[in-house]
Amino acid sequence: MNNYIVQLIVIALGSSLISNVVLSQFLGLCPFLGVSKRVKTAAGMGGAVIFVITLASLVAGLLYEFVLEPLGITFLKTIVFILVIAALVQFVELFLKKYLKSLYKALGVFLPLITTNCAVLGVAINNVNLEYDLLTGVVNGFATSVGFAIAIIILAGIREKIEFNDIPKPFQGMPIVLVTAGLMAIAFCGFAGLI
Amino acid sequence: MKQCLERLYNGIIKENPTFVLMLGMCPTLAVTTSAINGLGMGLSTMVVLALSNLMISALRKIIPDKVRIPAYIVIIATFVTLVELLLHAYVPVLHESLGIYISLIVVNCIILGRAESYASKNKMMPSLFDGIGMGLGFTIALTIIGLVREFLGAGTVFGFSGPDLYGAPLPELLIGLINRWLDPNSLSESVRFWNRVLTDEIASFGPMSIMIMAPGAFFILAILTSVQNVVKEKGKKNGKDVSKIQSGCNSDCMNCKDSGCSKSLTETEEKESLQPVAAEPEDTVKVSGSKDAADKEAKEHCDNEAIEQCDNEAGEHCDNEEKEVNVEVKEPADTDGDNEAIATDADAEITVHIDNAGKKENTTKEEQTGKKDKAEGTDKKKHKKTLLEVTQEIDIVELEELLGEEEEGNADE
């Protein structure tokens, strides 16, 4: 039991900081670069991603364990996962709109963006490939999305700071953001010594 | 046939998905640690792209419009699964090194984007060639990026290192060749010095392994986008149509409608979910500054670039927004009270800042009357210009707000 908890913590640290989902696995780059102009929006996106990925890894894990494996159709996992995730995001959107207005206001705009976010599908497939059990999978999903939120909020903070800096003309706009992301990736490499 | 060739040219050069459109950046960055990986990924994507384009084009009259996105996703996912199983069976090494990214071809923006913007509207043969062209463009781009990263980061080309060929790592070999070609006596002192330093550096440190690590990918992409910026600038000066350059996800995720990022499952849902972005009152945005930055980003995007840039669908979107903006400007102009009512908590913060400057009443009123005049005085032709001015005003307000925050921070210290 103790061992299991230690293993969970190691996995959580590993997927949130050491092999960060954006900065070292390059999943979910579109929202990472596209929705990081302001810290507030970035936080909203981060929140939405945490919410969706955790839920999606739970649902995908359940489906894999209780439907795909018993039926022996695990090779269909890509199709099943992407459809389930897309449907789930829509469902979550409708649910929030109806019952949790305040949460919908905060996250609603971002939900459609997450439908085809590769981070969500990536986590679900990773969980299966690495043969995580259900709880480990959910913890991994949560940690991964927290890693995403950390990265996007930090990037948004830096972008706000450098917005009016004197940047060489060719590097204005996207290039300087990418350089920033690269420097952040170097910084995150430092976490490799954590475990 | 002519159309098919045109499609190939379009995909490889004119609308190259990586170098021009900047789509599908996740796999581009992730798998280009070596040229062979880039080539493998590109070819897998090409197969999926071509076959799914063909299938979607064949079924375009059968698939109901409302559920087309899920239908496309199923078709694409099917082909991805096929390719993955084939790779696993016949090229296990490549399957191993590409790993999860093969499955993730499903969510590659290029594929859904092409399905939506080309295959669903055109006949089968052109769609097939569109897929092949786009796929080839993607393959070429990935291979080139992989080649550069591999050469700089590992000193090899397609896995062949210098020792296999001449007994030295490739960069060193290159420097050696240049040195042999240059006559050392003809060089000036400083050039000789730097030449020696460079040679020593490369000999002692070996290749820049950061280039094949994660940060290197970002730096390579940064250089690529900066080159794009220069090309775009030059093209604009020469009066060329540069609207396609970088129209992918990278500039603004909220607006990337036609590249498949922000697709909802069904059409109605999409419209509903977009409404909050489009219908947000201009006034709230103006006063509350960063309250809903997404909205403003969207608007700025539309005002500054998108009028020329967006193609049909997105362009309509922008137009709608503009109209709504105008209406909203007129309405709340008469009283301050109205304005307070719309404003939210975020507004309160900014109001404080403006208060600090001691000119809250004046600024807001002046601004509003100014806007009102402008809004009323416009007809459709002047529309664009006024909107640009208004956006500039927003920028000024934003600047003030930022300055205010800084001042406050200083005061705290």
Nearest to A28 by CA among A146, A137, A140: A146
Check whether B130 has a pLDDT greater than 50: yes
Does the distance separating the beta carbons of A78 and B103 come in below 8 Å?
A: yes
**In the predicted model, what is the mean pLDDT of residues B378-392?**
48
Residue A58 has φ and ψ, to the nearest 5°, of: -65, -50
Q: In B, which residues are within 8 Å of A129 by CB distance?
A: 99-100
Q: Which residue do the tokens 């094949």 mark?
A: B212
Does the distance separating the beta carbons of A113 and B262 come in below 8 Å?
A: yes
User: Which pLDDT score, from 0 to 100, does residue A90 have?
Assistant: 83
Q: Mean pLDDT, chain A, as a whole number?
A: 87
CA angle B325, B387, B311 (to 5 degrees): 80
Structure-model confidence comparison of residues B304 and B173, the more confident one: B173
The tokens for A150 are 């950390």
Q: Residue B284 class from Cβ within 10 Å (0-12 exposed, 13-18 middle, 19+ buried)? A: buried
Distances from the Cα of A92 to the Cα of A111, A181, B116, B361, angstroms: 8, 30, 25, 42
Structure-model confidence comparison of residues B324 and A13, the more confident one: A13
DSSP-derived 3-state class of residue B376: helix
Cα B345 from Cα B289, distance rounded (Å): 12
CA angle B153, B159, B165 (to 5 degrees): 100
Check whether B21 has a pLDDT greater than 70: yes
What ipTM goes with this model? 0.89
Pick B219's closest partner by Cβ from A76, A78, A182. A182
Per-residue pLDDT tens digits for A72-131 = 888 888 899 988 888 888 888 888 888 878 778 777 677 777 766 788 888 999 999 888
DSSP-derived 3-state class of residue B33: coil
Does the distance separating the beta carbons of B74 and A79 come in below 8 Å?
A: yes
Q: Which residue do the tokens 């997105």 mark?
A: B314
The answer to whether A35 and A107 have CB atoms below 8 angstroms apart is no
DSSP-derived 3-state class of residue B157: strand
The answer to whether B362 and B400 have CB atoms below 8 angstroms apart is no
Q: Mean pLDDT, chain B, as a whole number?
A: 67
Per-residue pLDDT tens digits for B267-286 = 433 433 433 443 334 433 33
- E-assigned strand segments in B178-334: none
Cα B202 from Cα B367, distance rounded (Å): 60
Residue A37 has φ and ψ, to the nearest 5°, of: -80, -35
**pLDDT band at B358; cut points 50, 70, 90:** very low
Interface test with A, best of B83, B103, B274 (most A CBs within 10 A): B103
Torsion over CA: B263, B264, B269, B273 (sign): negative
Q: Is the pTM of this model over 0.80?
A: no
